[in-house]
Amino acid sequence: MAEDLNSMYHVRGQVKWFDPVKGFGFVVSDEGGPDILLHVNVLRNFGQSSVADGAGIEVVTHRTERGVQAVEIVSITPPARDDSPVLTDFAHLDPEDIQSRPLEPARVKWFDKGKGFGFANVFGRSEDVFLHIEVLRQSGLADLQPGEALAMRVIDGKRGRMAAEVMAWELALGANRET
C-alpha cells in the first residue's frame, strides 16, 4: 500500500544540525524515523535565520518523494543547559533579575560566528550592545545576520552594555501578547 504523500504530520524532536550558510539542516524525531529536512525558508517563516544544534523543535512535516521535510515550525525550545552562568559577566546576577528586564527591540549591526561575538543597536539608542555566541546558544540561536530584528534583555556588564537574552523579534511579539 502506497503512503499518502500529501499527508501532514506534527512531529516533536531535536535539531540534529543546522547550517545557515548552506541554508538547511536536519531534525531528528523523538519517535525515530528518517531525518527531517529543515530549510532556512521554513525557519525564516518562523522569524529566525538560525537555530542551535540540540534545540527542541516542534514541526509540521510533509513526506515527499525525496524524503520528509518540515513545512512549518510550531515551536523552538533552546537546548538544555546547566544552571551555571553562561558568562562570568552574569555570575553576580540573579536569573530572575535578568528575566525581569524589558525586552528591547534591536537590529543586528554585525555578528561573526567564527569570532563568537557581534553587536546590535537598540532602537532609539546609539551605543552598541555586545552579543556573545553563548548567549545566542542559550537563547536557541546559532547565528545572526546583519539587519536581523531582535528582542534583547540588556544588562550593564563589566565591559559595557551586553545582551543577556536574545530572541527573534517575531517571537518576542508573541511572548509579549501572552503576558
Q: What is the CATH number for 41?
A: 2.40.50.140
**pTM flag (> 0.85):** no
Select from 20, 43, 77 the last residue of a domain. 77
**Phi, psi angles (nearest 5°) of residue 49:** -105, -5
Q: Is residue 2, in this structure, part of any structural domain at all?
A: no
Do residues 51 and 36 touch, judged by C-beta distance below 8 A?
no
Of 59, 95, 61, 89, the closest CA to residue 74 belongs to 59
Select from 53, 77, 101 the last residue of a domain. 77
**Any residues with CB less than 8 A from the CB of 68 and at least 6 apart, and which?**
33, 34, 35, 36, 37, 61, 62
**Banded model confidence at residue 52, pLDDT cuts 50, 70, 90:** confident
Whether pLDDT at 176 is above 60 = no
**DSSP, residue by residue, 147-176:** T-EEEEEEEEETTEEEEEEEEEHHHHHHHH
Q: Are residues 92 and 152 in the same domain?
A: yes
- Between 3-17, 33-47, 78-92, 100-114, the lowest mean confidence (pLDDT) is in 78-92
For residues 12 and 64, give the distance between their C-alpha atoms in angstroms, rounded to a whole number.
19
Q: Are residues 99 and 163 in the same domain?
A: yes
Q: What is the pLDDT of residues 65-114, one digit of tens each?
A: 889 999 999 998 887 765 555 566 666 677 777 788 899 999 999 999 88
Whether pLDDT at 12 is above 90 = yes
For residues 83 and 114, give the distance between their C-alpha atoms in angstroms, rounded to a whole number.
25
Select from 24, 55, 77 the last residue of a domain. 77
Q: Are residues 57 and 97 in the same domain?
A: no
Q: What is the pLDDT of residues 117-139, one digit of tens each?
A: 999 999 988 889 999 988 888 88
DSSP state of 111: E
Q: Containing domain of residue 67, as a range?
A: 8-77
Residue with cell 537563547: 139
Residue 81: per-residue pLDDT? 61
- Number of separate domains in the chain: 2
Residue 43 CA, chain-centre distance (Å), reads: 9
Q: Is residue 25, in this structure, part of any structural domain at all?
A: yes
Whether pLDDT at 11 is above 50 = yes
Of 156, 92, 100, the closest CA to residue 129 belongs to 156
131 Rama class: left (phi>0) / alpha (psi -120 to 50) / beta: beta
